[in-house]
Amino acid sequence: MDRIPLTIADAPLETRDWIDIVEPATGQVYATVGDATAADVDRAVQAASDAFGGWSSTPASERSDRLYALADLIDRDTDRLALAESKDTGKPLSVARAVDIPRVALNFRFFAGAILHAEGAFHDMPGSAINYTLRRPRGVAGLISPWNLPLYLLTWKIAPAIATGNSCVCKPSEMSPMSAHLLMELIAEAGIPPGVVNMVHGRGERAGAAIIEHPDVPAISFTGSTRAGSWIARHAGAMLKRYSLELGGKNPNVIFADADLDDAIETSVRAAFSNQGQICLCGSRILVERPVYHEFVDRFVERARSLRIGDPLDDATQVGSLIGEDHLHKVDGLVRLAEDSGGTIRCGGKRAEAPNDRCEGGAFYPPTVITGLDAECDAEQEEIFGPVVTMSPFEDEDEGVRLANGTRYGLASIIWTRDLARAHRVAERIETGIVWVNCWMLRDLRTPFGGTKQSGVGREGGLEALRFFTEPKNVCIRTR
């Protein structure tokens, strides 16, 4: 059985306790991962502190070369990384190979390029002084990520952190640690010095919390649930650390009657069920203007039913396994609550049969559509984070916007209309950090990424990430 130790300054560190890793598609334990204690985390922070001085004074062009080299190694090992990712999460292997792992390489290429073009600020006070602003890396960054897009989200933090000269202590989810473990071999092969990236594994409340509370970790970048994010804000905030939190969502997908329905239905199905609905950006609350509501529901349900649930290793599979049995029960529990609140289940709604013998113990749940719910009920308000969408009609633009804004979350939204003026108006009024008009998941890595309300604090991406991982220092020089 595979055994995944911590990696500190390029060396494996065995822990006292170990956690079983289950392959969600089969329900079988296939590996164990270390469960770090606060003392283990302290060793990782020490290694990162030791590496910081040398790495932060390495010229940006050299750091950039190392990151480009790493991206090339990720491309070389795409198949191996994709298989690890699929095995850990239950996502279709074809998707991991075509989407997740190429994006991992892109994260490194993007920030390798970005640091070559970074500019400083200069403010002139004619006749009296000049100001210039230095930006310096903060030190050891604590980087914590979830299980749904394991390496894609973790490297979205590692790349800007180390590109700007920080060292880091990372903690991927204890449910999906394998691809992060494999990445450490490539980091060493790319010539990134030992200790610049350290990989700690273990439970959030122990290993994760030890990173948050460590006095020598001044910056925290976290992606995960709103519940854990709120705990982190309290503790990191009390220590006056810098933190960036990317949290949960309950994203509205608003379809106006003038939309291109073919396009809206096809993309909305993708936005609902990609990665088994386990993407923070999934459009899980579908709001449809009354004149096209029935047509939209019928056609969407027909398309959702046609999606092929299968073994993640089968290239024809479109819907793989959920992350595990506990999560399946949480998803199913919210569907049962929706039913009890008077909702109608239009398709799916109960555990799917295993697609083959290998997947007999897997956590398969079909695409599920629920209509007829009150906007205030749990299924409309809580993040389900599974292949489940709710659908409701609205009468006019005002009501559409009001329903779209009617949750505590504010991560992403989708608007479908052919009316340009309305698209601008609704985008302005909608309370989310990201708005897609007539599209979903079109990502330009230069744009700010993150949510408002309970979906997060701060932004990732482009300049925002470069700023987060550096501390500004203004120097004012009198000129007379």
* 318 contacts 92 by C-beta, under 8 angstroms: yes
Nearest-5° Cα angle at 381, 301 to 397: 70
Q: Give the pairing of strands 219-223 and 242-246.
A: parallel
For the chain, the residue count is: 480
**Which lies closer to ligand NAD via its Cβ, residue 248 or residue 310?**
248
Task: Establish whether 170 is a catalytic residue.
Answer: no
Which are the contacts of 124, defined by CB distance < 8 A and separation ≥ 6? 130, 131
Q: Which of 249, 281, 283, 255 is nearest to 389 (CA)?
A: 283
DSSP track, 183-239: HHHHHHHTTPPTTSEEE--S-IIIIIHHHHH-TT--EEEEES-HHHHHHHHHHHHHT
Instruction: Give me 425's structure tokens.
Output: 């108006």
Q: How far apart are CA 345 and CA 160, in angstroms?
A: 44
250 φ, ψ to 5°? -145, 75
Q: Which of 359, 248, 250 is nearest to 311 (CA)?
A: 359
Which residue do the tokens 């049969």 mark?
353
Q: How far apart are CA 205 and CA 197, in angstroms?
A: 21
Smallest distance from ligand NAD to CB 233, Å: 11
**Which lies closer to ligand NAD via its Cβ, residue 264 or residue 286?**
286
**Which lies closer to ligand NAD via its Cβ, residue 208 or residue 218?**
208
Please tell me whether residue 261 adopts helix, strand or coil conformation. Answer: helix
Smallest distance from ligand NAD to CB 65, Å: 29
**Which lies closer to ligand NAD via its Cβ, residue 142 or residue 165?**
142
Smallest distance from ligand NAD to CB 204, Å: 2
Catalytic residue (choose from 85, 246, 380, 460)? 246
Catalytic residue (choose from 168, 170, 280, 359)? 280
Smallest distance from ligand NAD to CB 175, Å: 7
Smallest distance from ligand NAD to CB 171, Å: 5
Distances in Å between the alpha carbon of 438 and those of 278, 296, 427?
A: 21, 15, 12
Nearest-5° Cα angle at 53, 46 to 473: 110
Smallest distance from ligand NAD to CB 213, Å: 9
Smallest distance from ligand NAD to CB 313, Å: 23
**Which lies closer to ligand NAD via its Cβ, residue 259 or residue 389?**
389
**Which lies closer to ligand NAD via its Cβ, residue 58 or residue 225?**
225
**Which lies closer to ligand NAD via its Cβ, residue 349 or residue 456?**
456
- How crowded is residue 187: how many other Cβ atoms within 10 Å of its Cβ? 23
* 138 contacts 468 by C-beta, under 8 angstroms: no
* 215 contacts 239 by C-beta, under 8 angstroms: yes
Q: How far apart are CA 350 and CA 38, in angstroms?
A: 41
Q: How far apart are CA 331 and CA 350, in angstroms?
A: 10
Smallest distance from ligand NAD to CB 147, Å: 5
Report the side by side order of strands in the sheet with 167-171.
Answer: 11-13, 6-8, 197-199, 167-171, 140-144, 219-223, 242-246, 456-457
Which residue do the tokens 């973790």 mark?
154
**Residue 98 DSSP label:** I
Q: How far apart are CA 277 and CA 82, in angstroms?
A: 19
Residues lying near ligand NAD in the complex (CB under 6 A) are found at: 144-148, 153, 171, 173-174, 203-205, 208-209, 212, 223-225, 228, 231-232, 246-249, 280, 383, 385, 411, 451, 456
**Which lies closer to ligand NAD via its Cβ, residue 58 or residue 452?**
452
Smallest distance from ligand NAD to CB 148, Å: 5
Task: Establish whether 246 is a catalytic residue.
Answer: yes
Which helix (H) or strand (E) covers residue 170, if one does? strand 167-171
Could you give the residue numbers annotated as active site?
246, 280
